[in-house]
A and B are shown apart, each in its own frame.
Chain A
């Protein structure tokens, strides 16, 4: 496969960025959770 560096870069960036964003969101949730009254979480 030629241009393999470009291809790998694109895939790694894409998946990596999504993973980082998901982790960041989870971390925010964990930080906020103790402060939140359970009745403010309509999904639970």
Chain B
């Protein structure tokens, strides 16, 4: 008897992406248009900075990715709290937390890379042990740990519980780490010249471009998390129905027909969730 996952519907597969809705499609279009406009603004229409020269153009992507990375961290924490303390322990919150963490790792990595490249030009080094950079690196590693915990297996509720606690522990840890590094680096009396963002005074079009970048990247974050969270929902559903099929197979082995008449003999249709 074939107990592998059967297609759940016999309708022809639609050509549109399965996680798309009219609203998310509009959002996606807005994101892409926004990105194009951002590139035009950031790379061509704005002038160079008086102090930083052309390297300010890196800021137009670096600052938004940093902002989104921290936003993702907050969303994961909120989703975890909503899961743990919500009356229904809805797995949707867990999946939002997980999707946000994945997207967050992506943005965090980009922040570190673009920041490092910016630093290479500005300070001559790829890395500085200042609090903000160091904390970002810690956040990155902590996320990776969180994603590893999500992959530990078990039931979906177990996964949700475990990773929610880990995420909330991270909320406690990260400020502590940041504070410790601030105290630590204050011992070395860092020159205030070397601030990670270069302390740019911006006005007019430059400031608008920066803020516009933050807005576009935030929209991109929402869009990516939306789709990823839907994929996670589908993956969880597939896992659950696969489990039901295995249970049904086990029951039919225990007693009943051998399935030659097309049923598994257990009287269970394997479709309860």
A binds B: yes
Binding site for B on A (CB under 8 A): 1-4, 6-7, 9-11, 13-15, 17-18, 21-22, 25-26, 28-30, 32-38, 40-44
Inter-subunit contact A21/B224 (CB<8 Å): yes
Q: What 8 A-B pairs have minimum CB-CB distances, sorted nearest first?
A: A40-B237, A33-B18, A37-B8, A32-B234, A10-B114, A29-B19, A14-B61, A1-B54
Among B54, B110, B228, contact of A2 (Cβ-Cβ < 8 Å): B54
Distance in angstroms from B92 CB to nearest chain A CB is 9
* 7 A/B residue pairs, CB under 8 Å, sorted by A: A11-B61, A28-B235, A29-B18, A29-B227, A36-B234, A40-B233, A44-B21
Interface residues of B in 32-60 (CB under 8 A from A): 35, 39, 42-43, 48, 53-55, 57-58
Distance in angstroms from A21 CB to nearest chain B CB is 6
Q: Mostly helix, strand, loop or mixed at chain A's interface? A: helix
Q: Mostly helix, strand, loop or mixed at chain B's interface? A: helix
- Judged by a CB distance under 8 angstroms, whether B13 is at the interface is yes
Inter-subunit contact A6/B117 (CB<8 Å): yes
A9: chain B residues at CB < 8 Å are 117
B54: chain A residues at CB < 8 Å are 1-4, 7
CA distance A26 to B24 in the complex (A): 13
Distance in angstroms from B186 CB to nearest chain A CB is 30
Inter-subunit contact A13/B271 (CB<8 Å): no
B65: chain A residues at CB < 8 Å are 14
